[in-house]
C-alpha cells in the first residue's frame, strides 16, 4: 500500500485518540526561547500551517492529517524509515528518537503510522515546544514525548541499544551545527541504537556537496552500511537543498532489489521526485572526503 492509499484508509482510525490541540493555531509571531516563532496559514492546503523559526521555514503541519507531509525531505525520511521497519524492526515495540523537534511533524507522522511506537522529540526551544503542544494535534506521551534539552548532550548520554531509529533534523538557521556532524556524534548515536537500528539524517548542503560527503565519510567509520536519498539536481551538485543520509549495521537495500525498487516508486511519487542511492553508489559519492572530528 502506498503512502497516499494508507493515508486515505487510516483517516478516522483509533490512532488519533487524545490528540486534540489546546487553543488551536492562530497566525502570528510568538516568542520562542531562541528567537521569534512565526505561524502562517498555508493558503493552498486546508488546515495547513507553516512554522518559521528566526525567519527560516522549519515545519509544516496539516491539522487532522498526520500523514500529510508537505516538506519533501520528510517524505524521503518516511520512506527510509518505513522500508527499514518493514525489513528489520518490530512496529509494536518501535522506539524512535527525534533529535531536533520543530513542530513534531515527523514524530506525529510515525505515531500515526505505528500507533504502538514510542517517540521522543528532543527540542532545545522550550517556548516552541509549549506552543506546538497548544496549537497542534500531537499525540500525548508516551506516544510522543517532547523533551526540552540539548540534543547533543542527550545523544552523548544515550543508553546502549535503547532505541530503534534515530532521526537527526537539527538546524541553527539553515545550517546543521558541526557538533552534530562529527565521528564522535555518530559514535554516540551508534551506541544508542539497537542491533538492527537505523540512523537517518536531514543534511542541508550547498552545490559543492562537501558537507554531505564529510558526514557520510564519518558515518561509514561507525556503521557498516550507508545510503542516500535525494532529488537528481541535488545529487548532481546544481543547487542548495536537502540530502537524506542513512546508516545501519544491517544491510541497506541494494540497487535492483525488490525493496529498492519499491522505495524508488514511492520516492518518484512526490512533487519533487527523488532517488534512493545504495551503498555502492554512496561510497563512490563520498570517496576521498574527510570526516569531521
Where in the chain are the domains? 3-285
Q: Tell me the pLDDT band of 61, cut-offs 50, 70 and 90.
A: very high
Distance between CA atoms of residues 244 and 200, nearest Å:
7
Strand ranges (E), 15-108: 28-32, 35-41, 48-53, 56-62, 95-99
Spatial separation of the C-alpha atoms in residues 47 and 105, rounded to whole Å: 14
Read off the pLDDT of each residue in 158-178 and give the average, rounded to a whole number: 92
- Positive or negative, the Cα torsion across 38, 41, 44, 45? positive
Whether pLDDT at 118 is above 80: yes
pLDDT band per the 50, 70, 90 thresholds, residue 5 = low
Q: Which long-range contacts (CB under 8 A, 24 or more apart) does 207-212 make?
A: 207/237, 207/238, 207/239, 207/240, 208/237, 209/237, 209/243, 210/289, 211/176, 211/181, 212/243, 212/245, 212/286
pLDDT of residue 258 exceeding 70 = yes
pLDDT for residue 3: 56
pLDDT tens digit sequence for 203-252: 998 889 999 999 999 999 999 999 999 999 998 888 788 999 999 999 99
- CA-to-CA separations, 65 to 48, 92, 101, in angstroms, rounded: 9, 22, 18
Q: Grade residue 15 by pLDDT with cuts at 50, 70 and 90.
A: very low
Mean pLDDT of 172-185: 90
Count of Cβ atoms closer than 10 Å to residue 127 Cβ: 17
pLDDT over 70 at 69, yes or no? yes
pLDDT of residue 174: 74
Q: Which fold has domain 3-285?
A: Rossmann fold (3.40.50)
pLDDT > 70: what percent of the chain? 92
Q: How many residues does the chain have?
A: 293
Question: Which is more confidently placed, 253 or 9?
Answer: 253
- Identify whether 103 is preceded by a cis peptide bond (ω within 30 of 0): no
Q: Residue 29: pLDDT above 60?
A: yes
**Is the model's pTM score more than 0.95?**
no
Mean pLDDT of the chain: 92
Q: Give the Cα separation of 66 and 209 in Å (integer).
A: 32
Closest CA to 244 of 255, 234, 257, 259: 234
User: What pLDDT, on a 0 to 100 scale, did the predictor assign at position 17?
Assistant: 44
- pLDDT computed for residue 19 by the predictor: 53
Neighbours of 259 (CB within 10 A): 15
pLDDT tens digits along 48-60: 999 999 888 999 9
Res 175: pLDDT = 81
Amino acid at each position: 500500500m502506498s503512502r497516499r492509499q494508507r493515508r486515505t484508509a487510516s483517516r478516522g482510525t483509533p490512532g488519533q485518540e487524545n490528540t486534540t490541540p489546546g487553543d488551536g493555531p492562530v497566525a502570528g509571531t510568538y516568542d520562542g526561547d531562541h528567537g521569534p516563532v512565526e505561524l502562517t496559514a498555508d493558503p493552498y492546503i486546508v488546515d495547513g500551517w507553516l512554522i518559521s523559526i528566526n525567519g527560516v521555514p522549519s515545519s509544516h503541519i496539516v491539522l487532522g492529517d498526520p500523514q500529510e507531509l508537505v516538506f519533501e525531505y520528510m517524505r524521503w525520511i518516511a520512506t527510509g524509515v518505513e522500508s527499514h521497519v518493514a525489513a528489520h524492526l518490530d512496529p509494536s515495540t518501535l522506539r524512535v528518537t527525534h533529535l531536533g523537534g520543530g513542530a513534531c511533524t515527523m514524530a506525529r507522522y510515525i505515531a500515526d503510522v505505528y500507533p504502538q511506537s514510542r517517540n521522543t522529540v528532543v527540542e532545545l526551544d522550550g517556548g516552541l515546544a509549549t506552543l506546538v503542544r497548544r496549537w497542534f494535534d500531537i499525540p500525548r506521551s508516551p506516544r510522543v514525548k517532547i523533551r526540552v534539552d540539548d540534543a547533543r548532550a542527550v545523544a552523548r548520554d544515550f543508553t546502549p541499544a535503547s532505541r530503534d531509529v534515530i532521526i537527526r533534523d537539527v538546524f541553527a538557521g539553515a545550517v546543521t551545527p558541526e557538533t552534530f556532524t562529527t565521528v564522535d556524534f555518530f559514535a554516540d548515536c551508534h551506541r544508542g541504537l539497537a542491533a538492527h537500528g537505523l540512523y537517518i539524517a536531514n543534511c542541508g548542503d550547498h552545490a559543492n556537496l562537501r558537507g554531505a560527503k564529510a558526514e557520510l565519510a564519518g558515518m561509514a567509520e561507525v556503521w557498516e552500511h550507508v545510503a542516500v536519498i535525494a532529488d537528481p539536481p541535488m545529487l548532481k551538485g546544481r543547487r542548495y537543498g536537502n540530502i537524506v543520509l542513512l546508516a545501519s549495521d544491517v544491510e541497506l537495500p541494494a540497487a535492483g532489489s525488490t525493496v529498492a525498487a519499491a522505495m524508488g516508486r514511492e520516492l518518484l511519487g512526490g512533487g519533487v521526485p527523488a532517488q534512493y542511492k545504495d551503498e555502492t553508489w554512496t561510497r563512490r559519492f563520498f570517496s576521498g572526503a574527510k570526516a569531521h572530528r
